[in-house]
């Protein structure tokens, strides 16, 4: 263990030592001799990003509510710190106690995006924990995963002892409490615990308890449980009543600036819209809302203990919250007097109103963002965006009336059935948004309009209507990006696009199976890290690893999966049925839209999970 002088010397030798100092206001300290289980909660990216994650804040609070459990935070050190740690043979440690993560009972990872997988393995390696679950002994921590990417856990299955599928507020403490009971009654062994957790706790997936077989063509043949008493398909768990869900009244306050230095409060989970490319819109169903009084009390409690000057309401589509006017009135009654800026992200163009513009300070800034996702109405119908050009033009005129001159528009390229005509329509739509500025008599005449279009390549994701679709080849993605750029004819339209090479690797990892473990393990051996960061992502090196491990990335990214094929994620039930997704895919190719959940229940299957929700009034 380092003494204070050694620690001080190391911290002064790296960028942003506040990332590693610990001791923040609001951290939870317990007597480690008196707790019965210790949980290291790892965010596989930098401190600044991890400290902004609402899920981490909630689950940190949930676990620490239990007297016998101490949950601590762990973040991936930046490259300079990693080099110092390896040079001095220093292990990865937790923020609160400074203890090595290898000494904990559980090491948990939240899997927020596929490109963080190399960071997960890098953190295990820094922590001195064997990468593969099969190589860990009785004295090693149990490595548990959760988060959005856990809905297809197979690419990283060999590195995890178990997964928490779904919402963790109740499930995660239940897993740790089972561990404590088995330790106390003497029945604990690693194997016995994993079997009992898979058998008795809904939502627990233990990869080692499933045998995977493959057809000669490389597709998955079957997932077979090794025990008869564990579910052959693991169903996600949800919090049925969000009003009663645990929520921290005090958060850990960082010493340095983070990505989101603000109060963040959920207003609900799920989405009524059903965009056919959107994984979150399916996996977070059924739609459930908190009541305005609960949201208001939670936000005020965090303000009183933090002093943050901004409040953001978190939702997949905040303007779909059924009581948005009542909620904003309650919040503004105290945020305005305390000069707290109220932020409403995820506003849809068809729900953007002058009333919201007048009430909410944050959307009176110089720019506003909307996501049409496609340039033509035909393609917007294919993806079920249910957004019309007149909705967008009405919204931008509300913004122009209020003095805005900057509009950001998000699109995707590579949707099924897409043509070059659809691509050319992206900048054409932006040109029309510029023209609307000059038509508007109330526009800010002292400024010129600026419309920024950001275009991301389509990535087929599990549990979407497009999960079977191939991604464009890299060459085609690059051609489309150049073509869209060539169609921009106005300097008032700025064009950005996401890196196509990164998107291809993300597609491989999103739709991959257990055989990708060999790829990721080799990536770790070669020192891959921070692949979500452009300065460290190297596509050619990824291709070298695929070649060295005998894996063809096109098999996962660029192949149309068969409609009757066993998919790598079929071992998971997210609530939305495969038959519903197939119906939505067929409707996409017909160019037929599906109404949102409040207009008509489309029978996606998620309502069987229960929950206090807002959905179709006829079939709630």
Query: Has residue 16 been placed in a domain?
Result: yes
Same domain, 326 and 211: no
| pTM (two decimals) | 0.95
42 pLDDT above the threshold of 70: yes
Query: Has residue 513 been placed in a domain?
Result: no
Same domain, 244 and 175: no
Query: Has residue 106 been placed in a domain?
Result: yes
Closest CA to 240 of 607, 580, 616, 615: 607
The 3-state DSSP composition of the chain as helix, strand, coil percent (nearest 5) reads 40, 15, 45
Q: How confident is the model at residue 360 (pLDDT cuts 50, 70, 90)?
A: low
Same domain, 293 and 206: no
Same domain, 164 and 310: no
pLDDT for position 99: 96
CB 14 within 8 A of CB 84: yes
Query: Has residue 176 been placed in a domain?
Result: yes
Same domain, 245 and 331: yes
Query: Has residue 582 been placed in a domain?
Result: yes
Query: Has residue 201 been placed in a domain?
Result: yes
Cα–Cα–Cα angle for 386, 392, 394, nearest 5°? 125
What is the mean predicted confidence (pLDDT) over 481-493? 97
4 pLDDT above the threshold of 80: no
For residue 329, the enclosing domain spans 239-346+576-620
Last residue of a domain, one of 235, 257, 273: 235
Q: How confident is the model at residue 611 (pLDDT cuts 50, 70, 90)?
A: confident
Same domain, 229 and 297: no
User: 3-class secondary structure for 444-463?
Assistant: CCCCCCEEEEEEEECCCCCC
What's the rounded Cα separation, in Å, for the pair 183 and 192? 11
pLDDT tens readout for residues 192-246 = 999 999 999 999 999 999 999 999 999 999 999 999 999 999 999 999 999 999 9
What is the mean predicted confidence (pLDDT) over 539-566? 98
pLDDT tens readout for residues 489-537 = 999 999 999 999 999 999 999 999 999 999 999 999 999 999 999 999 9
Last residue of a domain, one of 178, 203, 235: 235
617 pLDDT above the threshold of 50: no
* 13-22, 128-137, 520-529: range with lowest mean pLDDT: 13-22
pLDDT for position 511: 98
Same domain, 170 and 260: no
Max CA pair span of the chain = 78
Q: How confident is the model at residue 488 (pLDDT cuts 50, 70, 90)?
A: very high
**Average pLDDT over the chain, rounded to whole?**
94
What is the mean predicted confidence (pLDDT) over 291-315? 95
Same domain, 80 and 224: yes
Domain of residue 215, CATH code: 3.40.50.280
What is the mean predicted confidence (pLDDT) over 556-564? 98
Closest CA to 149 of 110, 119, 123, 176: 110
pLDDT for position 2: 56
Residue with tokens 């209020």: 402
pLDDT for position 355: 82
pLDDT for position 619: 42
Same domain, 130 and 182: yes
Same domain, 197 and 269: no
What's the rounded Cα separation, in Å, for the pair 524 and 541? 12
pLDDT tens readout for residues 401-415 = 988 899 999 999 999
Q: How confident is the model at residue 616 (pLDDT cuts 50, 70, 90)?
A: very low
pLDDT for position 538: 98
* 40-44, 160-164, 286-290, 357-361: range with lowest mean pLDDT: 357-361
Domain of residue 619, CATH code: 3.30.750.210
Q: What are the φ and ψ backbone dihedral angles of 592, each rounded to 5 degrees?
A: -105, 130
pLDDT for position 594: 98
Q: Residue 527 — left, alpha, or beta (φ > 0 → left; ψ -120 to 50 → alpha)?
A: left
pLDDT for position 358: 76
Same domain, 202 and 316: no
Same domain, 126 and 259: no
DSSP annotation of 50 reads H
pLDDT for position 368: 86
Q: How confident is the model at residue 12 (pLDDT cuts 50, 70, 90)?
A: confident
What is the mean predicted confidence (pLDDT) over 161-189? 98
Query: Has residue 44 been placed in a domain?
Result: yes
Last residue of a domain, one of 235, 261, 283: 235
Q: Which strands make up the sheet holding 493-497, listed edge to edge?
A: 367-373, 406-413, 450-457, 493-497
When divided into structural domains, the chain yields a total of 2
What's the rounded Cα separation, in Å, for the pair 91 and 100? 6
Query: Has residue 139 been placed in a domain?
Result: yes
Percent of the chain with pLDDT over 90: 88
363 pLDDT above the threshold of 60: no
Other C-beta atoms closer than 10 Å to the C-beta of 548 total 12
């Amino acid at each position: 263990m380092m003494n204070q002088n050694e620690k001080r010397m190391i911290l002064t030798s790296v960028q942003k030592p506040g990332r590693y100092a610990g001791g923040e206001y609001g951290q939870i300290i317990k007597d480690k001799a008196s707790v019965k289980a210790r949980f290291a909660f790892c965010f596989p990216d930098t401190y600044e990003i991890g400290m902004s994650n609402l899920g981490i804040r909630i689950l940190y609070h949930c676990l620490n509510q239990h007297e016998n459990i101490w949950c601590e935070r762990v973040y991936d050190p930046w490259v300079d710190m990693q080099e110092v740690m390896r040079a001095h043979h220093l292990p990865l440690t937790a923020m609160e106690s400074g203890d090595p993560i290898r000494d904990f009972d559980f090491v948990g990872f939240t899997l927020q995006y596929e490109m963080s997988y190399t960071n997960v393995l890098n953190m295990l390696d820094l922590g001195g924990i064997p990468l593969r679950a099969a190589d860990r002994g009785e004295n090693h921590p149990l490595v548990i995963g959760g988060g959005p990417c856990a809905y297809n856990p197979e690419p990283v299955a060999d590195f995890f002892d178990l997964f928490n599928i779904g919402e963790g507020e109740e499930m995660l403490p239940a897993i740790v409490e089972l561990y404590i009971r088995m330790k106390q009654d003497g029945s604990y062994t690693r194997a016995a615990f994993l079997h009992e957790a898979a058998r008795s706790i809904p939502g627990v997936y233990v990869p080692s308890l499933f045998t995977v077989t493959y057809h000669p063509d490389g597709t998955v043949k079957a997932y077979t449980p090794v025990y008869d008493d564990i579910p052959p398909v693991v169903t996600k768990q949800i919090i049925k009543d969000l009003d009663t869900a645990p929520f921290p009244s005090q958060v850990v306050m960082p010493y340095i600036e983070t990505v989101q230095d603000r109060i963040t409060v959920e207003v609900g989970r799920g989405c009524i819209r059903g965009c056919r490319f959107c994984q979150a819109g399916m996996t977070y169903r059924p739609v459930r809302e908190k009541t305005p009084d609960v949201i208001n009390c939670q936000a005020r409690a965090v303000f009183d203990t933090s002093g943050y000057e901004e409040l953001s309401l978190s939702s997949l589509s905040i303007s779909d919250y059924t009581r948005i006017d009542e909620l904003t009135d309650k919040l503004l009654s105290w945020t305005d007097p305390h000069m707290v800026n109220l932020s409403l992200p995820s506003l849809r163009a068809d729900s953007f109103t002058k009333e919201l513009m007048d009430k909410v300070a944050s959307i009176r800034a110089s720019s506003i963002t909307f996501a049409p996702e496609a340039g033509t109405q035909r393609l917007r119908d294919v993806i079920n965006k249910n957004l019309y050009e007149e909705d967008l033009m009405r919204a931008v005129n509300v913004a122009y009336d209020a003095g805005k001159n900057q509009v950001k528009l998000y699109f995707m390229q590579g949707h099924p059935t897409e043509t070059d005509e659809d691509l050319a329509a992206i900048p054409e739509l932006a040109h029309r948004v510029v023209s609307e500025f000059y038509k508007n008599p109330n526009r800010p005449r002292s400024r010129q309009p600026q419309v920024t279009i950001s275009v991301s390549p389509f990535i087929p994701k599990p549990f979407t209507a497009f999960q079977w679709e191939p991604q464009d080849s890299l060459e085609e993605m690059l051609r489309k990006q150049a073509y869209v750029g060539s169609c921009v004819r106005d300097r008032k339209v700025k064009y950005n696009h996401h890196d196509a090479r990164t998107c291809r690797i993300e597609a491989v990892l999103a739709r991959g199976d257990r055989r990708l473990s060999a790829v990721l393990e080799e990536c770790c051996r070669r020192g891959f890290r921070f692949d979500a960061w452009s300065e460290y992502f190297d596509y050619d090196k990824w291709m070298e690893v695929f070649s060295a491990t005998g894996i063809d990335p096109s098999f996962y990214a660029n192949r149309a999966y068969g409609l009757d094929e066993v998919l790598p994620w079929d071992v998971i039930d997210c609530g939305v049925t495969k038959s519903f997704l197939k119906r939505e895919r067929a409707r996409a190719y017909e160019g037929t839209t599906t109404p949102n959940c409040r207009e008509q229940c489309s029978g996606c299957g998620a309502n069987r999970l229960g929950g206090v929700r807002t959905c179709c009034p006829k079939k709630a």
